[in-house]
Amino acid sequence: MKCPFCKHDDTKVTDSRATDDGRAIRRRRECQSCGRRFTTYEMVEESPLIVIKRNGSRELFDRSKILNGLLRASNKRMITRQQLEDIVSHVERDIRNSLAQEVTSEKIGEMVLDELKSIDEVAYIRFASVYRKFADLESFMAELEHLMGTKKKEAVEEQHDIEE
């Protein structure tokens, strides 16, 4: 690794540890020539992931767009930033594990909704209202009824498990 200060190629690693999210290794290095220290990060090189938008256009996957949508949906809710980061990481990991090089924005939205449903129902509805573009009150109510039906079904299954 070249020293960013004196451009000498002989540096040694003085400390190595995983980053908080475990996606990279942080290394502290010291230049053998000038003695200055600097930090490098080592991570797996990932192939670019392309998102196919509703209008047919394509763009590079950008996890910050998902996070920003989640932040808006969870405004003034009891959801931590870490929970939202975890949702984004889980969705991205699942997409990359599928080995697909392209994914639709609809698929990403559904994956986010699946994750968000178990964390906060209000944030779920907020995210769904933007993602699914509710055109009227009927489409909004249909989503609420679907959510309530799922919740009732889970409660019945849980009660059944307790009785057994």
List pLDDT tens digits, range 81-93. Answer: 999 999 999 999 9
Residue 163 DSSP label: H
- What phi and psi values does residue 150 have, to the nearest 5 degrees? -65, -40
Two tokens, residue 71:
């932040």
- What is the band of 68 on the pLDDT scale with cuts at 50, 70, 90? very high
Give pLDDT, residue 154: 67
Q: Does residue 151 have a pLDDT over 70?
A: no
pLDDT for position 43: 84
Model pLDDT, residue 82: 93
- pLDDT-derived band of residue 75, with 50, 70 and 90 as boundaries? very high
pLDDT at 56 over 80: yes
> Computed over its alpha carbons, how large is the radius of gyration of the chain?
22
**Encoded amino acid at 96, one letter:** R
The ranges assigned to domains in the chain are 11-43, 50-132
The pTM of this model reads 0.63
Average pLDDT of the chain?
88
pLDDT of residue 138: 77
Provide CB contacts within 8 A for 3, sequence distance 6+.
Answer: 9, 11, 31, 33, 34, 36, 38
Q: What is the pLDDT of residues 27-45, one digit of tens each?
A: 999 999 999 999 999 988 7
C-alpha span between 118 and 139 (Å, rounded): 21
